[in-house]
Amino acid sequence: MPHDLPKAYDPTAIEDHWAGYWVRENLFAVPTPDPATISVQDQGPDGMSPFVILLPPPNVTGRLHMGHMLNQTEMDILTRWRRMSGRLALWVPGTDHAGIATQMMVERQLTEEGTSRQTLGREAFVERVWAWKRHYGGAIIEQMKRLGVSVDWSREYFTMDERLSVAVREAFVRLYAQGLIYRGAYIVNWCPRCQTAISDLEVVHQEQKGHLWEIRYPVLGDGGPEGKPSIETGEFITVATTRPETMLGDTAVAIHPEDERYLHLHGKKLRLPLMNREIPIVVDPWVSREFGTGAVKVTPAHDPNDFAIGERHHLPSINVMDDRAAINENGGAYAGLDRYVARKRIVADLEAQGHLGAIKDYTNNVGHCDRCKTVVEPRLSTQWFIAVNKEPTGGGDSMAEKARAAVRSDANGDKAIRFTPENYEKIYLEWMTNIHDWCISRQLWWGHRIPAWHCGACHKITVPESGSTGDPAACAHCGSDQITQETDVLDTWFSSGLLPVSVFGWPNITAETRADFDAFYPTSLLVTGFDILFFWVARMIMLGCWFAGDVPMPDGSPRPLAETVPFKEVYIHALVRDANREKMSKTKGNVIDPIEIVKQYGTDAVRFTLASMASPGTDIAFNVARTEGYRAFANKIWNAARFIFMNVDKAAELEIKVDPSSLPKLPAVGMDAPREDRWIVAEFESTANKVNRSLESYRYDDAANAIYQFFWGSFCDWYLEIVKLRLEISDTAGKEKIKPALTTLLSVFEASLRLLSPFMPFITEEIWHVLYGGNPPAGSIALAHYPPVQGIIDASVQIEMELLQSLIVEVRALRKEIGVEEKAIVPIELRAGESLREIAEQNRDIIERLARVSEVRFVDQISAGLSKHSTPQFDVAVIYERTIDIPAERERLTKEIAKREKQDANDERQLNDPAFVAKAPAHIVEGKKKQMQENRLLLEKAKAALAALPKE
């Protein structure tokens, strides 16, 4: 049956077809294993345990960007490689409900419709978000499907799915019962637009030009009689602030205890201007004497440092802003004004009343909401927290301590979790050592609503018991039925932090349900970017170690730390930058859309571009020119396939049948096989070794480049050219050479496709199916075997072929130099040692064909008068008498001499010009001198050539 491969390589057609096929056939699904056939004990330490990897769930609002493309390419290469190498490989996909981002998206829609979430009410709004999700939420998943990622789509999850929501509730109630969740007043970053607290990690700091306003607070004397207001002494303390509106909430001014300027004011009071409030002067060593006047206003409700001072000195906290960052009823005359309107008026009033000092220009780092870019307002509010440094009720390590132990070396130097690049371990441990309590509440409607109920009668909190499902009907403390559920939802990272345990069934781990958990937890690897190291990676380690610790091992024994971790390895990938190594950004307009590039060059070429530059800790400068190059690489493979198939079909017409299904699975040849066959097999095996070893250490670049060199160089440029000689049938004697030649050719090609497949899954799938005449041994090349590491490689034949190649390369170079026409076939002289002489004699036909040589003359010395090339192993010369048109050559040389003489005169004039030599940089002058010397040399050569021309 003839092999039907279209003439032109068209990635779009192939890729659409196979992407659909992989999803439709559910090719990469890994069903729940039968506990009888798989158990942790059986798997042993030989690296054959399942390879399990979780996709960092993109936001359901997301669109695929270059970072995703890199991340997914890296995961897909590793998963396909592990799967083909014989491991049960499971890659679990899903999307994140992305609380703030999704709520914002829908709120924007509502604004356009002239309504709002408040008008709709909570229930209708949440329903509306679900409707949005059903309609638009699949976009990024569709993009992933088109890119052909080899995930198990049957296990796709959404973080708001019922079973994952059960896990979120259970995690909360267990932590609450362990005394690790509390509610408290705390300074949070408040986004007045999103109207929710956001975490430190969601605040982006930007330098902004502003002002530093100095305000003078009058000092009060202690003189006033009982009950009468204190009298101003006429002295002032000057404080400075970038947010003058917060002064409305000042409850003290702080100074350093040893600041000599203020020693006489210890214990005194001040009058807060505009509010007419008496506030104390407190002494606190935290205050810096060097900064400004050494006196700072203290606003505990609006600044984290001030909050800490307030706690130390038992100062009241006066919150002066509402949820929209307008001044509230605590702001006196300014109540109802937006924060920036209030600022202007306050500054004007201070000035009018003589309390304003200097106004200085000041550049400071202002925090903005990462989602909506609104300036965040540090603000006191009541939030829910996890006490990460606290021991649980009943004793044991804190959550942070477990999360540190998982990454630290144990007594044997082993680590439960390894980071690549390794320096991230230190960064992680430092963060986990300085970690504060985790604020887990968000004032949103979209997300997992906190499972806690407030009692209207006794004001206590009721949290359901572990394992319960229904909502409580009465207060657990006083029995009142006046209970209402907390309105806050949980931080999105609380639910995504649980994913490694929840996707495999936690908390419902029973004897019947635990097969997934036993087989797949801990996962093998997490591939992610640095930007979510703390957001997500750290949270997964904290929550994974905590809750998996409750699940005994399959044999009932307690789970050791190394088995509680959510993943055994973390690979932090680098950034994709533009071709000039600039960070991609919308404002700069240098964002490369992966979907556009894929449309232009095909997924395979884009994947290969990323892989060829990906290695630990190195950012990728994405250059489209490179993608164009890899598109050409794919094309080269396509053409090689067409050439091979054409020959197989031609042979079949001559009754020479090569059956692809009986090819050796590893390209194997005997010692008596032709040298080039033994060589290409050795080359293939070296490449397979290099690729396997490089992927073990995340050197995608080394792996991709090794395959590229092999496929393009060794296979296409050399082997195909050589083997062509054996495929030609010019006489009846040619026939018997064909079958072994085709068999080796086809088996090496088939194995090379498998080697390349994890990097370029589409083109290899297409060609592989055609190679087997549409009847391949497996449903996909991705289910075939990966070429493994080989122990012994025939290195001697590689050395021999290298010699032969270098001989051919030198002859080709010589031909160019002395101007032999492309088509001319010429004799060569070769002086070579014994071994090369033998190789050259045996492979005369190859040399003759590949270097266009008519005859190899072995000599002891290259004849005088021939220009030769020398290497340590041989000298070679091409014998070629060019027939020259003497008058034309004389004219050409005469012209060249005139041109070079003129150039020389110019050079000399310039270099003798003192002004030029003095002004021009040294390297220019040096370059000019060198140029002059070269020109003179060529001038002499041309003169000699002219003199050597025969006279007419």
**CB-wise, 89 or 369, nearer to Zn ion?**
369
Q: Least Å distance between CB 302 and Zn ion?
A: 18
Q: Least Å distance between CB 196 and Zn ion?
A: 8
Residue 602 DSSP class? -
What DSSP string runs through 243-293? -GGGGGG--EEEE-TT-GGGGGGTT-EEEETTTTEEEEEEE-TTS-SSSTT
Whether residue 507 is preceded by a cis peptide bond, meaning omega within 30 degrees of 0, is yes
- Name the strand (E) or helix (H) holding 613: helix 603-613
**CB-wise, 458 or 716, nearer to Zn ion?**
458
**CB-wise, 474 or 561, nearer to Zn ion?**
474
Q: Least Å distance between CB 489 and Zn ion?
A: 15
**CB-wise, 484 or 861, nearer to Zn ion?**
484
Name the nearest CA neighbour of 671 among 797, 556, 561.
797
Q: Least Å distance between CB 62 and Zn ion?
A: 17
Please, which residues have CB within 8 angstroms of residue 836's CB and are 6 or more apart in sequence? 803, 807, 873, 874
Please, which residues have CB within 8 angstroms of residue 108's CB and are 6 or more apart in sequence? none
Please, which residues have CB within 8 angstroms of residue 525's CB and are 6 or more apart in sequence? 51, 52, 53, 78, 567, 568, 569, 570, 571
**What type of residue sits at position 484?**
T
**CB-wise, 423 or 482, nearer to Zn ion?**
482
Q: Least Å distance between CB 373 and Zn ion?
A: 7
| Contact status, residue 771 vs residue 641, Cβ threshold 8 Å | yes
Taking CB under 5 A as the rule, does residue 296 contact Zn ion?
no
**CB-wise, 194 or 850, nearer to Zn ion?**
194
**CB-wise, 194 or 282, nearer to Zn ion?**
194
Q: Any bridge partners for residue 366, and if so which?
A: 206
Taking CB under 5 A as the rule, does residue 369 contact Zn ion?
yes
**CB-wise, 193 or 928, nearer to Zn ion?**
193
| Contact status, residue 367 vs residue 303, Cβ threshold 8 Å | no
What part of residues 380-399 is at the interface with Zn ion (CB under 5 A)?
A: none
Q: Least Å distance between CB 159 and Zn ion?
A: 20
Residue 530 tokens read as: 């640095």
**CB-wise, 194 or 543, nearer to Zn ion?**
194
Taking CB under 5 A as the rule, does residue 574 contact Zn ion?
no
Q: Least Å distance between CB 460 and Zn ion?
A: 5
**CB-wise, 372 or 624, nearer to Zn ion?**
372
Q: Least Å distance between CB 462 and Zn ion?
A: 7
Burial of 654 (0-12, 13-18, 19+ CB in 10 A): exposed
Stretch that binds Zn ion, among 149-157, 184-192, 563-571, 899-907 (CB under 5 A): 184-192
How far apart CA 474 and CA 471 sit, in angstroms, is 9
Query: 């296409």: which residue's tokens?
Result: 716
Stretch that binds Zn ion, among 362-370, 411-419, 550-558, 671-679 (CB under 5 A): 362-370
Site string for Zn ion, 647-686 (x = CB under 5 A): ----------------------------------------
For the chain, the 3-state helix, strand and coil shares in percent, each to the nearest 5, are 45, 15, 35
Q: Least Å distance between CB 208 and Zn ion?
A: 17
Stretch that binds Zn ion, among 373-381, 432-440, 611-619, 708-716 (CB under 5 A): 373-381
**CB-wise, 116 or 288, nearer to Zn ion?**
116
Q: Least Å distance between CB 199 and Zn ion?
A: 12
Stretch that binds Zn ion, among 186-194, 320-328, 735-743, 836-844 (CB under 5 A): 186-194
Helix/strand/coil for 695:
helix
Three-state secondary structure string covering 454-503: EECCCCCEECCCCCCCCCCCCCCCCCCCCEEECCCEECHHHHHCCHHHHC
- Name the strand (E) or helix (H) holding 525: strand 523-529
Stretch that binds Zn ion, among 154-162, 291-299, 365-373, 524-532 (CB under 5 A): 365-373
Q: Least Å distance between CB 587 and Zn ion?
A: 19
Taking CB under 5 A as the rule, does residue 193 contact Zn ion?
yes
Helices 11-24, 603-613: inter-axial angle, 10-degree rounding: 90
Q: Least Å distance between CB 454 and Zn ion?
A: 9
How far apart CA 255 and CA 262 sit, in angstroms, is 7
**CB-wise, 461 or 610, nearer to Zn ion?**
461
Taking CB under 5 A as the rule, does residue 191 contact Zn ion?
yes
- Count the site residues for Zn ion by CB under 5 A: 14
Taking CB under 5 A as the rule, does residue 376 contact Zn ion?
no
Residue 159 exposure: Cα atoms within 13 Å on the Cβ side: 27
**CB-wise, 440 or 475, nearer to Zn ion?**
475
How far apart CA 203 and CA 379 sit, in angstroms, is 14
Q: Least Å distance between CB 96 and Zn ion?
A: 18
**CB-wise, 475 or 691, nearer to Zn ion?**
475
Q: Least Å distance between CB 443 and Zn ion?
A: 11
Helices 594-601, 66-84: inter-axial angle, 10-degree rounding: 60
Name the nearest CA neighbour of 187 among 332, 366, 376.
376
Q: Least Å distance between CB 748 and Zn ion?
A: 58
**CB-wise, 374 or 805, nearer to Zn ion?**
374
User: Euclidean distance between the first and final Cα of the chain, in Å?
Assistant: 67
- Sign of the four-CA dihedral 584, 586, 588, 591: positive
Stretch that binds Zn ion, among 366-374, 802-810, 855-863, 907-915 (CB under 5 A): 366-374
Taking CB under 5 A as the rule, does residue 737 contact Zn ion?
no
Residue 384 DSSP class? E
**CB-wise, 480 or 805, nearer to Zn ion?**
480
Residue 513 tokens read as: 């349900």
Q: Least Å distance between CB 76 and Zn ion?
A: 34
What part of residues 59-98 is at the interface with Zn ion (CB under 5 A)?
A: none
Q: Least Å distance between CB 473 and Zn ion?
A: 12
Which of 30, 126, 194, 265 binds Zn ion (CB under 5 A)? It is: 194
**CB-wise, 480 or 871, nearer to Zn ion?**
480
Name the nearest CA neighbour of 399 among 166, 557, 183, 175.
175
Site string for Zn ion, 445-484 (x = CB under 5 A): ----------x-xx----------------x-xx-x----
What part of residues 846-875 is at the interface with Zn ion (CB under 5 A)?
A: none
How far apart CA 280 and CA 480 sit, in angstroms, is 44
Angle at 915 between CA 914 and CA 921, to 5 degrees: 100
**CB-wise, 374 or 389, nearer to Zn ion?**
374
Taking CB under 5 A as the rule, does residue 372 contact Zn ion?
yes
Q: Least Å distance between CB 456 and Zn ion?
A: 8
Stretch that binds Zn ion, among 1-9, 372-380, 805-813, 929-937 (CB under 5 A): 372-380
Taking CB under 5 A as the rule, does residue 195 contact Zn ion?
no
| Contact status, residue 213 vs residue 347, Cβ threshold 8 Å | yes
Site string for Zn ion, 326-345 (x = CB under 5 A): --------------------
| Contact status, residue 296 vs residue 284, Cβ threshold 8 Å | no
| Contact status, residue 673 vs residue 748, Cβ threshold 8 Å | no
Helix/strand/coil for 534:
helix
Q: What are the residues binding Zn ion (CB under 5 A)?
A: 191, 193-194, 369, 371-372, 374, 455, 457-458, 475, 477-478, 480
